[in-house]
Structures are given as structure tokens and as C-alpha cells.
Amino acid sequence: MAQDGLTTAPEMAEKPSGRTTIDADEVEKFSAIADEWWDPFGKFKPLHKFNPVRLAYIRDGACAHFGRDRRAKLPLAGLRLLDIGCGGGLVAEPMRRLGADVTAIDASARNIKTALTHAAPLKLDIDYRAATVEQLAASGEAPFDIVLNLEVVEHVADVDLFLETSASLLKANGIMVMATINRTLKAVALAKIGAEYILRWLPAGTHDPRKFVKPEEAKAALTRAGLTVTAEAGVSYNPLMDIWRISEDTDVNYLLTAVKR
């Protein structure tokens, strides 16, 4: 179905039998606050704060890998990009502005509706779909040059299946960028207790620390999925300057880049 130059698939079909990546409680949690994705002072304020850092990381890594000039007006032109768990489109929109041909999926139809509503007046031709990664893989979709899994793996039911299925959607020599939260006491203190109950950056209950993923676990899962991890970085917050930056500290938030050989 087309809407003002934007395309979307029907709402998510029934959950597949057997193994699934979908945690229904997590989908409902984010569906309940879907209207707030684009409010920089609302429940997604932390994402708005560190979005420029992760966007630059993705752009620079993709340009280095594909031999593009990151200073070009459209450095990702001609590259097919898949944003998995796209939410309201906070990453999909800037990736499209950088020239990528963007497909963005989310298990929550309400999130996709928010993304479409925001993108429509901007005339951004993003292929938004209310779908799971399993459904996209089963559809016979052509593989992508870039696959993004940003702040998603800590909300899925089966991390190995999720990364394996995501990797199946990647072209040979394509890259995957994954961002998530480490399972450490420091992460529980800052990303869970501090962010949700002290600073009130996030709604209480946003994260379950038991679902945080250690970098070595993520790297092992990516390797099993046929990818080679080529870069690792931390994302750290400076409270005095109120800014996020790329760092070597992966104790809380971290990013991984992997290539499909």
C-alpha cells in the first residue's frame, strides 16, 4: 500500500510456530508509547541525545567499507539498507537523507504508523513495513548492503535466531551494525536504575537486565551467523557536557560492526 510516496506492508501476521524472535510483552511496551517517538523531551529523549553519535558511526563505517566519501552530499547513494526494529524512524530518516535506499521494519504496527506519519510531509520514500525479521526473510526479499540492529537485541526472545535471520538478509561483503547494552553491574546501575528510576530518562520497566547481551556473546552469535566482527566501540555519556561520544568503554552501551564474508 502506498501513502504519499511511502510504502508499507500489512500489519504483522500471526506469530510463526516454533522458535520466534518476538517477545510480545516487549512489542506491546513500545506500542504503548509509539506516539512519543519524535518528542526530543519525551520518553525517547535518550535516543535523541545519542542518535547523532550512532548515525555518524554508521555513516563513517559504511563509507570506509564501501569506499565512499563521507563528506559527499549523498555518501550512501545506491546502497540498500535495512533498519530492523526501526521504531518511529529516528535512524531510517537520516539514512535515507544520506542517500541509502531504506527498508525499515518493526513488529509494532503502531510504531510503523508513527514513522509513516512523520515521514509523509517530508516526502521521504522509505519502505516502512509492519513485519518481523522472520517474515521479511521468508518473503524472498533481495539481500541488503547494510543491516542495522540498533537497541533491538535486548528486546527479542531469541538473540541467536534474531542475528542468524538478520544475517540471512545481508549480501556477501555487506555489513551489519549492532548496538545494545552490556550485561554488567555498571550497565544495571546506569542504564537501568539510573536511567529509569533516578534520572527518569526512560519509562520504568523499559529494560530487563537479564536480557542485556555481553559483547563476547554477541560476537559469538554473529560468528555463528556467518559474519566476521571487524569493529567494536563503546558509547559513553559525559554528564558535565551532556553529550554522548564514541569511546573504548563498552561496559554499558556498545556498537559492533560485522561483515558477511
Tens of pLDDT along 195-230?
777 877 777 888 899 999 999 999 999 999 999 999
Cβ neighbours of residue 59 closer than 8 Å, sequence gap 6 or more = 70, 75, 76, 98
- On average, the pLDDT of the chain sits at 90
Q: What is the per-residue pLDDT for 121?
A: 96
Integer Cα distance of 186 and 73 in angstroms:
39
Tell me the one-letter amino acid at 49.
Answer: K
Of 49, 54, 38, which is closest to residue 195 (Cα–Cα)?
A: 49
- Record the cell numbers describing residue 103, joined without a space: 527498508
Cβ neighbours of residue 68 closer than 8 Å, sequence gap 6 or more = 62, 75, 76
Q: What is the per-residue pLDDT for 151?
A: 94
Between 9-18, 55-64, 128-137, the lowest mean confidence (pLDDT) is in 9-18
Q: How many CB atoms lie within 10 A of CB 67?
A: 6
Integer Cα distance of 16 and 139 in angstroms:
13
Half-sphere exposure (CA, 13 Å, Cβ side) for 124?
A: 25
Question: Is residue 124 within 8 Å of residue 101, measured between CB atoms?
Answer: no
CATH, range 2-260: 3.40.50.150
Strand partners, 104: 83, 128
Tens of pLDDT along 114-169?
999 999 999 999 999 999 999 999 999 999 999 999 999 999 999 999 999 999 99
Pairing of strands 80-84, 101-106: parallel
Integer Cα distance of 237 and 181 in angstroms:
13
All structural domains of the chain with their residue ranges: 2-260
Does 1 score more than 90 pLDDT? no
Does 6 score more than 50 pLDDT? no
Does 53 score more than 80 pLDDT? yes
**Angle, in degrees to the nearest 10, between helices 109-119 and 24-31:** 40
Band of pLDDT at residue 18, cut at 50, 70 and 90? low
pTM of the model: 0.89
Integer Cα distance of 203 and 7 in angstroms:
31
Burial grade of 94 (CB within 10 A; 0-12, 13-18, 19 or more): middle
Tens of pLDDT along 66-113?
999 999 999 999 999 999 999 999 999 999 999 999 999 999 999 999
High-pLDDT (> 70) share of the chain, % = 93
Integer Cα distance of 28 and 193 in angstroms:
22
